[in-house]
């Protein structure tokens, strides 16, 4: 067990596809397709804007990605629908294994390190009653560059006052897990889908299917 555990938020603790029901309500038969494309463009925009050095908060990129996905799928998008879907991001469901895992880890040094901007991740953590579960909730907004930029992972070292070699990083996003491994963390990749490891020249220290597999 390392001295501290740092968690990615979206896709790791919180299920981004819990917006699917609302999408399906608005556009029957298209909810799953919209949810998948929305998430894909959301991530693409973080990487593209980091490379272009044209940062915008994650909340804006999430809205931009929604608008793109609806236009691509030829789905009419009204202002009220945008508002409700964006509000849904402030109340995403946690994955089923998350509450029990956080209870089991109580007393350990824990943090969230996320691409989410403070206007998104703060309300989300609060709405799920998780404020007391973490010693820090860290956002890339402080640096205005997105993961997997190495300086983002440095935020955890500085905030937790813990050497990188003593930090465990947990993510369900393989590119994020490998970015953390490149930086020097001990990495647990939650591979819920049984996907192959991305070809980025690194390997996670441990591949698991749920948080219960990293408990001490």
Catalytic residues: 8
Q: Which residues contact 102 (CB under 8 A, 6 or more apart)?
A: 110, 130, 133
Closest by CA position to 143, among listed 127, 134, 133, 154: 154
How many Cβ atoms from other residues are within 10 Å of residue 54's Cβ? 9
Q: Is 208 in a helix, a strand, or coil? A: strand
Closest by CA position to 179, among listed 58, 62, 50, 54: 50
CA 83 to each of CA 61, 66, 184: distance values in angstroms, whole numbers, following the listed order: 14, 11, 39
Contact indicator for 180, 187 with CB cutoff of 8 Å: yes
CA distance 64 to 43: 11
| Residue written as token pair 């889908």 | 193
Query: Alpha helix (H) ranges present in 28-183?
Result: 31-52, 58-72, 79-88, 98-104, 118-127, 150-160, 174-183
């Amino acid at each position: 067990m390392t001295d501290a555990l740092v968690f990615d938020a979206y896709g790791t603790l919180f299920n981004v596809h819990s917006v699917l029901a609302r999408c399906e309500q608005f556009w029957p038969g298209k909810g799953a397709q919209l949810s998948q494309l929305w998430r894909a463009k959301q991530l693409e925009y973080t990487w593209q804007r980091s490379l272009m050095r044209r940062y915008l908060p994650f909340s804006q990129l999430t809205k931009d990605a929604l608008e793109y996905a609806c236009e691509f799928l030829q789905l009419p998008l009204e202002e009220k629908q945008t508002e409700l879907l964006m509000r849904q991001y402030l109340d995403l469901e946690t994955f089923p294994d998350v509450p029990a895992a956080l209870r089991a880890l109580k007393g350990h040094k824990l943090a969230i390190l996320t691409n989410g901007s403070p206007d998104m991740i703060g309300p989300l953590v609060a709405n799920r009653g998780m404020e007391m579960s973490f010693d820090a909730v860290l956002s890339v907004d402080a640096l205005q560059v997105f993961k997997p930029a190495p300086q983002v992972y440095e935020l955890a070292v500085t905030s937790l006052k813990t050497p990188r070699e003593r930090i465990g990083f947990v993510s369900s996003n393989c590119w994020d897990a490998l970015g953390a491994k490149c930086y020097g963390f001990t990495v647990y990749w939650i591979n819920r889908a049984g996907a192959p490891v991305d070809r980025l020249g690194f390997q996670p220290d441990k591949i698991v299917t749920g948080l219960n597999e990293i408990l001490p």
